């Protein structure tokens, strides 16, 4: 099946710094990738839809200047959390839309961000 990787899997950073998370589709091309965040025991909350070669589409309430998304190629999307604060600590998961007709999404393993 399709494989999506994320890097890093865990990161701890200090308040005020920026963190970049990479999402890669390893064996297929993904024109569309999605970024979610998930709080403990809560469901996935869609943050933005990342489209290759164009600007990301952000969900209501998500600050695009704080969560910078770049989808530079058909296999790579990055999420940069700028000027991170403790409340940004969360589990960030990316997914890529598959090439099949059922619109299945393949999820990366997630990145645990802790801001101290």
Asked whether position 93 contacts another protein by CB under 8 A, the answer is yes
Distance CA 89, CA 91 (A): 7
Torsion, CA 77, CA 98, CA 55, CA 80, rounded to 10? -30
Asked whether position 37 contacts another protein by CB under 8 A, the answer is no
Q: Least separation, in Å, of the C-beta of 10 and another protein?
A: 10
Listed residue (53, 103, 114, 57) closest to 81, CA to CA? 114
Instruction: Restricting to residues 48-87, name those near another protein by CB under 8 A.
Output: 49
- Which residues here bind another protein, judged by CB under 8 A? 32, 34, 41-46, 49, 91, 93, 97, 102-110, 112
């Amino acid at each position: 099946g399709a494989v999506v990787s994320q890097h890093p899997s865990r990161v701890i950073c200090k308040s005020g710094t920026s963190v970049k998370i990479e999402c890669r589709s390893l064996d297929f091309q993904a024109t569309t990738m999605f970024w979610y965040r998930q709080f403990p025991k809560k469901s996935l909350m869609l943050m933005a839809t990342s489209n290759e070669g164009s600007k990301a589409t952000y969900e209501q309430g998500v600050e695009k200047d704080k969560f910078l998304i770049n989808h530079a190629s058909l296999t790579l999307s990055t999420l940069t959390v700028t000027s991170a604060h403790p409340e940004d600590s969360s589990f960030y998961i990316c997914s890529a839309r598959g090439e099949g007709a059922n619109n299945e999404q393949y999820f990366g393993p997630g990145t645990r961000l802790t801001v101290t």
